[in-house]
Chain A
């Protein structure tokens, strides 16, 4: 049957996470730090709003762009939290999660062969998303000693003629890396100079710990070339609702809307109703979840470092991305070994691109007690795996 599969689909690598999922799901008593979603259930008032909407018979299509009331609430939320003004009428599109928004943007923007810069390690769908839109993805490295921030100098080095789009995700899944305003400003200048459209996936932007989040769209010349992507999955613990949005200049949003209207029609109305409730009354819940994530982050970073794994303190999201180099194991062998001998699941960094090799992603979106136990187990595993000859101070 293989000959029937489109070349650009057949050529996609299988997600490294998928293999791992198959193994973990068959094992018992595993503490999984491999989960890319909040462990909190959606706050009750948001779930109740969806139930209420269902009871009231809200079971129909909505406008392609999404409910106007929701778009208005999004506009107010984005203005208040990101200092970005978008018109609800034609500059905001409600999507089925940020994942759909990314797909729409890439399909709306790319001609076959157009090039897309993206930082790596990065979210698993970026490279395949570009390939599915017949584009060419060009990775730009980010580094552990730099907190996995993106530098304009690395973008300059990677840039090639034909680059049209820059995709960014800060705070970043899988690294927890963030980008400070000084770096963003340089990236913004680079984007203007090279005439790039920036897809800025800011899905984790409510979950930042030390420094406030800044969107690249606020810098001079950027609003007109940025598509701001955001959603409800992480901040409001609404992954299963599959609801997100894109904000940008009306012509770009209109192009994305065309693809959306012919492929998806609209985001599910119940999810839109729940999202509206989240924006109106959900912000206190976000604050309390963030406080708990911060406490867990400090625990995990401290314990991993004590165990001898170099680990930067992520400025956002709920992932740590420690190096496993001191054990002498590859990221894959480390992850499989840890799972086999200690029943703790982490994701090999290679699943997030070649620049992730030598690292693993551990999510701290898991209860505190479980994290303590997982850290104990990781410590035991590292102690057993680390070659005795290697001095611990190195």
Chain B
């Protein structure tokens, strides 16, 4: 695996200088690798992982199971790509099983999300049904546990 890609998959935030040191290559090589990964659409961008549960104006999030009609020649792709373009949609996956698409959406309020579902999503031609589940609480997000005592561990400060 590309050494820079390997570092990225570990999900640790490093500067290019730190990446260079960790991968044992020069900083300009790191930049080249990053540039190539962007060009290849492997590295799409950064998003911070945040716990906003204590923020009063945190977004409302929901997962929506969507059944759609596949189309000759393109299967589910055209509709899935179209749905994905909405700003409210954070992620969109084609699934095996009882429904076709699983969509993660977020919005400023329950009404706004509900409005998106009833006005935009379910009215699209080809969408057969939707089933919306609002998220009540997050326990783990992007590999991070939400409730961790504190990073201050009780490891002895000096040990043999």
Residues of A participating in the B interface, judged by any CB pair closer than 8 Å = 15, 17, 20-21, 24-25, 30, 32, 34-37, 39, 41, 123-125, 173, 295, 298-299, 302, 345, 347, 368, 372
Nearest CB of chain B from residue A287's CB, rounded to whole Å: 13
Is A35's CB under 8 angstroms from B159's CB? yes
Counting from the closest, the 6 A-B pairs by CB-CB distance are A34-B158, A21-B158, A124-B160, A32-B157, A24-B157, A295-B22
Nearest CB of chain A from residue B87's CB, rounded to whole Å: 34
Is B158's CB under 8 angstroms from A32's CB? yes
Known: A21-B156, A32-B157, A41-B153. 19 other contacts (CB 8 A): A21-B158, A24-B157, A24-B158, A25-B156, A25-B157, A25-B158, A30-B157, A32-B158, A34-B157, A35-B157, A37-B159, A39-B155, A124-B160, A295-B22, A298-B22, A302-B21, A347-B158, A368-B12, A368-B22
Is B160's CB under 8 angstroms from A123's CB? yes
Is A17's CB under 8 angstroms from B160's CB? yes
Nearest CB of chain A from residue B94's CB, rounded to whole Å: 29
Q: In the complex, which residues of chain A have a beta carbon less than 8 angstroms from the beta carbon of B18? A: 368, 372
Q: In the complex, which residues of chain A have a beta carbon less than 8 angstroms from the beta carbon of B155? A: 35, 37, 39
Q: Does B24 contact A (CB under 8 A)?
A: yes
Identity of the chain A residue whose Cβ is nearest the Cβ of B21 in the assembled complex: A299
Number of B interface residues in the complex (CB < 8 A): 13
Complex Cα distance A15/B156, Å?
15
Identity of the chain A residue whose Cβ is nearest the Cβ of B159 in the assembled complex: A36
6 of the cross-chain contacts (CB-CB < 8 Å) are: A20-B158, A21-B156, A21-B159, A25-B157, A32-B157, A37-B159
Q: In the complex, which residues of chain B have a beta carbon less than 8 angstroms from the beta carbon of A123? A: 160
Q: In the complex, which residues of chain A have a beta carbon less than 8 angstroms from the beta carbon of B24? A: 298
Identity of the chain A residue whose Cβ is nearest the Cβ of B22 in the assembled complex: A295
Q: In the complex, which residues of chain B have a beta carbon less than 8 angstroms from the beta carbon of A302? A: 21
Q: In the complex, which residues of chain A have a beta carbon less than 8 angstroms from the beta carbon of B14? A: 368
Residue from A15, A32, A39, A298 within 8 A of B21 (CB atoms): A298
Complex Cα distance A295/B12, Å?
13
Q: In the complex, which residues of chain A have a beta carbon less than 8 angstroms from the beta carbon of B153? A: 41
Residue from A36, A39, A345 within 8 A of B160 (CB atoms): A36
Identity of the chain B residue whose Cβ is nearest the Cβ of A351 in the assembled complex: B160
Nearest CB of chain B from residue A313's CB, rounded to whole Å: 13
Nearest CB of chain A from residue B144's CB, rounded to whole Å: 14
Nearest CB of chain B from residue A240's CB, rounded to whole Å: 9
Given known contacts A39-B155, A298-B24, A368-B22, is B12 in contact with A15 (CB within 8 Å)?
A: no
Complex Cα distance A123/B24, Å?
31
Identity of the chain B residue whose Cβ is nearest the Cβ of A295 in the assembled complex: B22
Complex Cα distance A24/B155, Å?
13
Nearest CB of chain A from residue B154's CB, rounded to whole Å: 10
Which interface residue of B18, B21, B155 has the most chain A CB atoms within 10 A? Answer: B155
Complex Cα distance A162/B87, Å?
81
Identity of the chain B residue whose Cβ is nearest the Cβ of A22 in the assembled complex: B158
Identity of the chain B residue whose Cβ is nearest the Cβ of A99 in the assembled complex: B160
Is B160's CB under 8 angstroms from A125's CB? yes
Complex Cα distance A32/B154, Å?
13
Identity of the chain B residue whose Cβ is nearest the Cβ of A299 in the assembled complex: B21
Is B157's CB under 8 angstroms from A17's CB? no
Which interface residue of A30, A32, A125 has the most chain B CB atoms within 10 A? Answer: A32
Q: In the complex, which residues of chain A have a beta carbon less than 8 angstroms from the beta carbon of B156? A: 21, 25, 35
Nearest CB of chain A from residue B108's CB, rounded to whole Å: 35
Is A345's CB under 8 angstroms from B158's CB? yes
Residue from B12, B22, B158 within 8 A of A35 (CB atoms): B158
Nearest CB of chain A from residue B142's CB, rounded to whole Å: 17
Identity of the chain A residue whose Cβ is nearest the Cβ of B13 in the assembled complex: A369
Q: In the complex, which residues of chain A have a beta carbon less than 8 angstroms from the beta carbon of B159? A: 17, 21, 34-37
Nearest CB of chain A from residue B160's CB, rounded to whole Å: 5
Identity of the chain A residue whose Cβ is nearest the Cβ of B7 in the assembled complex: A295
Complex Cα distance A39/B21, Å?
21
Is B158's CB under 8 angstroms from A17's CB? yes
Nearest CB of chain B from residue A27's CB, rounded to whole Å: 8
